[in-house]
Structure 1
Amino acid sequence: VNDLGGYTLCKDNTLDLLQGQFYTLPSAKERLAIPPSIQILMELLVKLQDPEIEPEDLANTINQDVSLSYKLLRLINSAFFGLPREVNSTKQAIVMLGHNKIKTWASLLSLSGVDDKPVELRIVAMTRARMCELLAKYYKGQAEMFFATGLFSTLDALMDRPLENLVEKLPLSPELKEALLNKSGAAGHALQDVLNYEKGDWVAIDASPIPAEVLSRVYLDAIHWAKELNTQLQD
């Protein structure tokens, strides 16, 4: 499904299993005014991605959003994470899982809460994030930064704004910004692999330094992971 007409036709005929570029495209008509919910989300992302934020401030930022803190603790204590003991507070979660991992998961949960977007876009965001993360070891990069690269690559579709405008407002590392905007650096190359596989661009896939069979396996793993996570979030 590559356009609104095709999406509407499928939904009108109660088709449920859909795939295509439609979900990853920003609305053809940009939002004239930024809705309060999107403004609040951007302000939250700015705080979450602040490289100087201290663990206590991070916990306080998450706890200020009651829904976010509830979702985060609920997910961390679910079978999806499989931790050996229950986590009872955001501070405890930061200690157990690490500062950067909590920032990443809080960002994912925040973005997954955008109300007026199809659930398929959320799955695309999760799939991209996970596939980039899995490719980090092949590109000898940092898994958490690769995960963030895949996740934030859908910001334009989630917020109906040019990606460049959104990225410039966030305190992301120069490497992450370059990966998102220019597909440069190791994380950018991984994101390009993901986008090529998503589109079925087999010529580009064959030109990747990562073998096609590895990309295929990683893509399937990422889809399975994203669907499991989405099920957990919907329960």
Structure 2
Amino acid sequence: MAPIRGVLQLQGDITKESTAEAIISHFSADGQEKAQLVVCDGAPDVTGVHEMDEYMQHQLLVSALSIATVVLETGGSFVAKIFQGNATGLLSTQMKIFFNKFDIYKPPSSRSSSIESFVVCSDFCLPPGYIPQVINTARDDIRVLAQKTGSDVNRHLVPFIACGDLDGHNNHSEDESDASGELQDDIKYDYDGIMSDEIYPQEFKGSYEELKINHTSCQ
């Protein structure tokens, strides 16, 4: 890519930790310099198998989102390419953990036969107690990664963000608390679409009924 005046260019794979660290390093560690907008237009080499392409694209999205949670300022926006499929409702729930506003947009320039669309998320807000982490579902043991920060919020949310795993929530005891000593009963996932989705086990549907995200305060 030809140089662009005023633009810092990095070439790398955003699913690699070294690339994520290179991006994050250009923002101040004290949090005073943050991005207002993060855009991800990356896509994998498509196979023609929609389910596989959607899955691989979602891995890129998770990597981009995890970087965004580190560099975005409160109230910031996130735009990323997706391959729209059966998991759109789950994707909406995952994005709404961090953004108060979520939409899926298909530009007029995109072919009608293409499953390409874009998530447009705004009003970024970290859930209280969540510590941003760079997530790579192909490289990391997600549950081990979620425990590294010592945050119960991460232990509950990171597996769900990475792959829709609810075990982090289901396995916690009633007396568990976050670093502040307060119970995490207000952490819930607001997603009703799964209740009519036949592919999800009934026990997972019961977990969704108990969960809802609280965005009343930002970190």
Question: Whose helix proportion is higher, 1 or 2?
Answer: 1
TM-score by length of 2: 0.32
Q: Larger relative CO (CA 8 A, sep 6+): 1 or 2?
A: 1
TM-score norm. by structure 1 comes to: 0.31
Determine which structure has the larger strand proportion and give its number. Answer: 2
